[in-house]
Amino acid sequence: MKKFRQIAALAGVILLAGLYLATLAAALLDNPDSFFFLRLAIGGTIGIPVLLWIIGIFVRAGKKTDETEDGTGSTNGTGRAGGAGGADGTNGTNGTGSADGT
């Protein structure tokens, strides 16, 4: 998944750089569509990172679903995820500790 995120980020950077260069070229060449390119660049500056973030969430959610179906979920051997401490005041290791460390 890390590789996918890196490729998506690089694609986003290249796409944004292309939009900025097209906007600059249109403005310098006095193209009548330069305002359209400016609006496109501003919209892309906001839209492309948000789109990549949403895609990343879906990819991450799909990966977690695949892991839990395979039985390789993220439990720590205690039968519950996390393992920070028990609800009964124990520290979650052997049942001898308390919430205040005594």
Give the pLDDT confidence score for residue 48 in this predicted structure: 95
Cα(50)–Cα(53) distance, rounded to whole angstroms? 5
Does some domain include residue 77? no
Does some domain include residue 97? no
Does some domain include residue 85? no
Give the pLDDT confidence score for residue 69 in this predicted structure: 65
Q: Return the DSSP state at 72.
A: -
DSSP string, 23-53: HHHHHHTT-TTHHHHHHHHHHHHHHHHHHHH
Does some domain include residue 96? no
Cα(48)–Cα(29) distance, rounded to whole angstroms? 26
**pLDDT, tens digit (0-9, with 9 covering 90-100), for 45-74:** 999 999 999 998 988 888 777 766 666 555
Give the pLDDT confidence score for residue 35 in this predicted structure: 94
Q: What averages of pLDDT result for each successive group of 10 residues across the chain (102 residues)?
A: 87 95 95 94 95 90 73 54 55 55 55
Does some domain include residue 50? yes
Domain that holds residue 64: 2-69
What the block records as the tokens of 70 is: 């395979």
